[in-house]
Amino acid sequence: MPEHPEIAIKPRDVMPPAASTLPAPYYVDPAYFRREMDALYAGMWVCAGRIEQVAKPGQYFTRDLLGESLIITSNAAGRVNAFYNVCRHRGTRLCTEHAGTFAGSIRCPYHSWTYDLDGRLVGAPHMEEVPHFRRDEYPLHAVHAEVWDGHIFINLSPYPQPLLAQLGDLPGKFRPWRMEDLRLGHRIIYDVQANWKLIIQNYNECLHCPNLHPALNKLSHYLSGENEPLNATYMGGRMDLRPGVDTLSTDGTCPRAFLPGLSKEEVRRVYYYSIFPNMLLSLHPDYVMVHTLWPLSPGRTINICEWLFHPRELARQDFSASDAIDFWDMTNRQDWHVCELSQAGIGSRAYVPGPYSNREDLLYAFDRMIVELHSGSHR
Amino acid sequence: MPEHPEIAIKPRDVMPPAASTLPAPYYVDPAYFRREMDALYAGMWVCAGRIEQVAKPGQYFTRDLLGESLIITSNAAGRVNAFYNVCRHRGTRLCTEHAGTFAGSIRCPYHSWTYDLDGRLVGAPHMEEVPHFRRDEYPLHAVHAEVWDGHIFINLSPYPQPLLAQLGDLPGKFRPWRMEDLRLGHRIIYDVQANWKLIIQNYNECLHCPNLHPALNKLSHYLSGENEPLNATYMGGRMDLRPGVDTLSTDGTCPRAFLPGLSKEEVRRVYYYSIFPNMLLSLHPDYVMVHTLWPLSPGRTINICEWLFHPRELARQDFSASDAIDFWDMTNRQDWHVCELSQAGIGSRAYVPGPYSNREDLLYAFDRMIVELHSGSHR
Amino acid sequence: MPEHPEIAIKPRDVMPPAASTLPAPYYVDPAYFRREMDALYAGMWVCAGRIEQVAKPGQYFTRDLLGESLIITSNAAGRVNAFYNVCRHRGTRLCTEHAGTFAGSIRCPYHSWTYDLDGRLVGAPHMEEVPHFRRDEYPLHAVHAEVWDGHIFINLSPYPQPLLAQLGDLPGKFRPWRMEDLRLGHRIIYDVQANWKLIIQNYNECLHCPNLHPALNKLSHYLSGENEPLNATYMGGRMDLRPGVDTLSTDGTCPRAFLPGLSKEEVRRVYYYSIFPNMLLSLHPDYVMVHTLWPLSPGRTINICEWLFHPRELARQDFSASDAIDFWDMTNRQDWHVCELSQAGIGSRAYVPGPYSNREDLLYAFDRMIVELHSGSHR
């Protein structure tokens, strides 16, 4: 192993001989995709967006999940609600915009059936002429919604466990970042021609960094840091900033104040956590980056990337985040490119699983969990 | 019920408790689509266009039906013929233009096999060297074609009933409009991302008009008029023009003479008839609008909209129909938009049939007929 | 039969009564397509390109075959190698460019696994930390490659017969053209919406020439020349240049020297050979045109057309080949157009096999071979 005098390198456990990548069907077979969608994306809490996107009563945004259009909004009391975007009269989609604000109620553009912000049907023209009709039998179909530190999660299952049960010890772990105080500063949406798991796998190893991300590697050595063992609902670890580097940005300097509440150690590190199934949480000394994954097919995933900043910074006249956004946008695009190359190659008849190095430990653990999911389901 | 002093409102029968929209498979399942195509679009007379489109011998246009390209043309005697667009030699498509004029015969671009305007093979270079070859065994594959009041209908079944048997009492009902005298003035082709039945259902109720079509509702009150009970091969009704309104146009005035032959009552009304499976006939005091539907898939339908005028009007130097065309083009686009929203919403896992109001009586009757078709087929 | 005093017309055998075109499934059914791809495109030698495209060590180009991306390159000793474009680590595609030059080795863009030009793994960062890992177990997946007179052929089967066994007597037959001395002068890639067999059938008869290719027919009479009987792995024949015509070019003159080594008869003819499954070889007095077919689906084929010239001509300051290229580009496009019309028409429910003339003898023989392939496979 080469010498890296400036950084502390922790050796990783040696991979067992069987530690190799997953067979191709996990990435290309629609049956595997459906099982993952059913078990993980329909059965778990999925990160949908930020509380500040529904700050005002009736403010809403939509997300597409499993082919469903979903409306996320809030009522006058500030409670977050989520609904299927389907009118109870003749099935019409209620809103076509990706974001907006309902004027106190949700009105179908077809025959004006009208719902309040909790989804109750409050108007249905001419239905009063139908004696057996009862309004209270036709509320909007609701989807469960809960909030953790400003992040809105939704769950398509009828009786989900509480969000906190899924998150486990994460809320405690990330308490110092006080994410509920942060605000959305920027969003970039990527359309990635790759399986959602390839994006998670790419996110959880930095072995590719010296070759693919020279700029990142200059700011944070790819062998630095440490991973946690895989948890049932998340995995991740941290990397160290190099001496003299203040944050991940185009030049490593930090034009923003560090987030209040972080320790001396925490401001020297970047934390990378995959929160299953769809959230990639990257905590920096002065900002938080969140990717949410929205799989469309075995080989295509929409990736919504958002940058959160402290409102004091956002309020500054000279606020600019292009140093952080440009840095990550470049790095993201490098990552999606190799994810797409992997998706293309894994589809080949020549592809066979290849061996993992010790630096791909989280991937191997993640793969075991995915294999378990498919074999456990007996479908 | 609110007061509408200016219009006569006929109450409608109360819907039975079971009167709700169709389950999702009727709109999204390819098996349902195929059954409807086989039974209705391949088994019934389908309106293809107007006699004036083949006025000259050899003049032709093509239509796509059930994935088939069909040629509609006329011979020297003025008889309308329809053929599959397939050469009997090696299967080559004979014409690629949507409309044109054959110079006396139909010649294949590949090896010059040539057919007369009745489809008889009259030239086949070098086939005379093949002793067992007989030209009369290789006519173009014909499709039945008949004409009603200038409207050309085609039928893909080998032994169809006569067109008039399908039309029933419609020819008598619409005699006063003398549609055979009218001429095509304008055509707009719409590509609608919705099931063909959603377009028919949209066409046969005006409950959505006050909300979706304020301009139309200003000219013709949505509660006015009266529907006929569903007939085996068509359904429809009429609505009244409001006092002071002369026709459906951008401002309600009528810059054209009324059609000769209409009664005092008929010029105060607009008639809307769905003639199954693909013709929507809208008769106005001074013009006729015809939609023909061309389903491509469960979720996509080409809609060809044509406006017919009296030739005396068309011949006027100052003839303009933009008042009628612009009015309906706007109204059509509003309709296709909600049809597309319905198609999108009905595909949701959250969609369940919703209740019909008394004003959606024709839709419920139409739906019963469609359910019957699918259950009766036992396929 | 009309008189053609200037040309020698050989009558052809009379087609048997059963000689008609193939049923539609051969052109539209994915199951038929897969059988042909397995038996012919994965089981035979396929022409991929020219030796001059890999003249320098590490120079490469890629081709797509059966959904596989393949790399064709050469090592320092000039040996042609072909590899699946798939890294042995995590399956990533190694190169995304259609052509280029590797700098001595092939390096994966993801984690820098590196292969020499014979496909041996020579670098795998951090894998040295995995004690059970052995580099020599992870070479690139190779594809067989051989060369005939400068044409590179590849074969996806694990144990192919030698290329020369497939080519039979063709190398002797085309010796005089010394194709190994020729060099690639131009390439045009066509995307044809037709089954690959329609392109071969179109190529092997000139009955369509007077109608579709008047310019070609002016230079070379469509009834001239002679066909060989079908051989197991190729079919073809020759046509005569008309008196006063020197080659196939826009005006029939020949601005280039004839190829050295051709006989007096050979410079008066153009030879057209389909070398199964994907090479159409057209030998002219002064140049060679090669089409290679790359089927994508039953109804779509990529056609790469290349023109080869003598290097002495290519080296001339005033070299121009637009006369030959423009002539054939026009003729090619006419051909692909009717192939696409045939594909469209054959998909019709009205299509039934049509009769072949005596001038379509090679097509009938080719069809018999294809029928045999499908019935022999018992799949």
Q: Could you check whether the bond before residue B277 is cis, i.e. omega within 30 degrees of 0?
A: yes
**Mean of pLDDT values over C120-124:** 98
Answer whether C88 sits within 8 Å of A357, measured CB to CB.
no
**Mean of pLDDT values over A34-63:** 98
Q: Give the bridge partners for A46, in sequence order.
A: A154
User: Which residues on B lie below 8 Å from C344 (Cβ)?
Assistant: 69, 93
What confidence score (pLDDT) does residue A50 get? 98
Q: Is a pLDDT exceeding 90 seen at residue C350?
A: yes
What confidence score (pLDDT) does residue C5 get? 53
What confidence score (pLDDT) does residue A41 get? 98
Handedness of CA A333, A334, A339, A340 (dihedral sign): positive
pLDDT tens for A222-250 read: 999 899 999 999 999 999 999 999 999 99
Which residue among B337, B341, B358 places its CB closest to the CB of A129? B358
**Mean of pLDDT values over C20-45:** 98
Nearest residue of C to residue B111, measured between CA atoms:
C208
What confidence score (pLDDT) does residue B2 get? 46
Split at pLDDT 50, 70, 90, the class of A2 is very low
**Mean of pLDDT values over B194-215:** 97
Which residue among B14, B211, B342 places its CB closest to the CB of A131? B14
Nearest residue of A to residue C134, measured between CA atoms:
A355
Task: For an interface test with C, give the residue of A205, A206, A351, A361 to mutate (most C CBs within 10 A).
Answer: A351
pLDDT tens for B352-362 read: 999 999 999 99
Residues of chain A whose beta carbon is less than 8 angstroms from a beta carbon of chain B are 66-69, 84-94, 96, 109-112, 124-127, 129-133, 138, 141
> How many residues can be counted in chain B?
379
Report pTM.
0.94
The terminus-to-terminus CA distance of chain C in angstroms comes to 45
Token pair of A33 as six digits: 């995709």
What confidence score (pLDDT) does residue B379 get? 41
User: Which residues on A lie below 8 Å from B344 (Cβ)?
Assistant: 69, 93
Q: Is a pLDDT exceeding 50 seen at residue A379?
A: no
**Mean of pLDDT values over A308-320:** 97
**Mean of pLDDT values over B54-68:** 97
**ipTM value of the model?**
0.93
What confidence score (pLDDT) does residue B376 get? 74
Note whether B240 and B285 are within 8 A (CB).
Answer: no
Average pLDDT, rounded, for chain C: 95
What confidence score (pLDDT) does residue C2 get? 46
Cα(B371)–Cα(B5) distance, rounded to whole angstroms?
39
Residues of chain A whose beta carbon is less than 8 angstroms from a beta carbon of chain C are 1, 11, 14-15, 17, 21, 24, 207-208, 210-212, 337-338, 341-342, 344-351, 354-355, 357-359
In chain C, helix, strand, coil percent, each to 5? 30, 25, 45
Q: Is a pLDDT exceeding 70 seen at residue C249?
A: yes
Average pLDDT, rounded, for chain A: 95
Q: Strands, DSSP E only, in B247-366?
A: 269-275, 279-283, 288-297, 300-309
Task: For an interface test with B, give the residue of A90, A108, A110, A137 to mutate (most B CBs within 10 A).
Answer: A90
Q: Is a pLDDT exceeding 50 seen at residue A135?
A: yes
Task: For an interface test with C, give the residue of B65, B90, B111, B134 to mutate (most C CBs within 10 A).
Answer: B90
Split at pLDDT 50, 70, 90, the class of A1 is very low
User: Which residues on C lie below 8 Å from A348 (Cβ)?
Assistant: 67-69, 84-86, 91
Phi and psi torsions of B183, nearest 5° = -135, 150
Handedness of CA B76, B80, B81, B82 (dihedral sign): positive
Cα(C274)–Cα(B255) distance, rounded to whole angstroms?
67
DSSP state of A316: S
DSSP state of A99: E
Split at pLDDT 50, 70, 90, the class of B5 is low
Cα(B359)–Cα(B13) distance, rounded to whole angstroms?
9
Cα(A104)–Cα(B124) distance, rounded to whole angstroms?
73
Task: For an interface test with B, give the residue of A34, A62, A92 to mutate (most B CBs within 10 A).
Answer: A92
Split at pLDDT 50, 70, 90, the class of C379 is very low
Note whether A247 and A241 are within 8 A (CB).
Answer: yes
User: Which residues on C lie below 8 Å from B85 (Cβ)?
Assistant: 345, 348
User: Which residues on C lie below 8 Å from A349 (Cβ)?
Assistant: 66, 68, 84
Q: Is a pLDDT exceeding 80 seen at residue C376?
A: no
DSSP H or E segment with residue C366: helix C361-377
Q: Is a pLDDT exceeding 90 seen at residue B8?
A: no
From residue B54, alpha-carbon distances to B73, B186, B281 in Å are 6, 16, 21
Residues 6+ positions from C215 with CB-CB distance below 8 Å: C250, C327, C330, C331
**Mean of pLDDT values over C283-312:** 98
From residue B365, alpha-carbon distances to A98, B313, B344, B360 in Å are 36, 38, 23, 9
Split at pLDDT 50, 70, 90, the class of B72 is very high
The terminus-to-terminus CA distance of chain B in angstroms comes to 45
What confidence score (pLDDT) does residue B115 get? 98
Q: Could you check whether the bond before residue A277 is cis, i.e. omega within 30 degrees of 0?
A: yes
**Mean of pLDDT values over A65-86:** 98
Split at pLDDT 50, 70, 90, the class of B4 is low
From residue C237, alpha-carbon distances to A107, C240, C321, C325, C361 in Å are 73, 10, 25, 22, 11
Chains sharing 3 or more CB pairs under 8 A with chain B: A, C
Q: With 0-12 CB in 10 A as exposed, 13-18 as middle and 19+ as buried, what is A86? A: buried
Split at pLDDT 50, 70, 90, the class of A282 is very high
Return the closest-CA partner of residue A233 out of A46, A30, A14, A32: A46
Which residue among A15, A17, A345 places its CB closest to the CB of C86? A345
Q: Is a pLDDT exceeding 60 seen at residue C322?
A: yes
DSSP string, C105-162: EEE-TTT--EEETTS-EEE-TTGGGSTT--GGG-PPPEEEEEEETTEEEEE-SSSPPP
**Mean of pLDDT values over B62-84:** 98
Coil, helix or strand for B93?
A: coil
User: Which residues on C lie below 8 Å from B84 (Cβ)?
Assistant: 348-350
DSSP string, A259-290: PTT--TTGGGEEEEEEETTTEEEEE-SS-EEE
What confidence score (pLDDT) does residue A79 get? 98
Answer whether A88 sits within 8 Å of B349, measured CB to CB.
no
Note whether C208 and C338 are within 8 A (CB).
Answer: yes
Q: Is a pLDDT exceeding 50 seen at residue A288?
A: yes
Which residue among A346, A357, A359 places its CB closest to the CB of C91? A346
**Mean of pLDDT values over B275-298:** 98
Q: Is a pLDDT exceeding 60 seen at residue C223?
A: yes
pLDDT > 90 fraction of chain A, expressed in percent and rounded: 94
pLDDT > 70 fraction of chain C, expressed in percent and rounded: 97
pLDDT > 90 fraction of chain B, expressed in percent and rounded: 94
Which residue among B89, B96, B129 places its CB closest to the CB of C358? B129
What confidence score (pLDDT) does residue A376 get? 75
Coil, helix or strand for A179?
A: helix
Handedness of CA A21, A25, A29, A34 (dihedral sign): negative
Return the closest-CA partner of residue C21 out of C354, C351, C360: C354
What confidence score (pLDDT) does residue B7 get? 67
Coil, helix or strand for A178?
A: coil
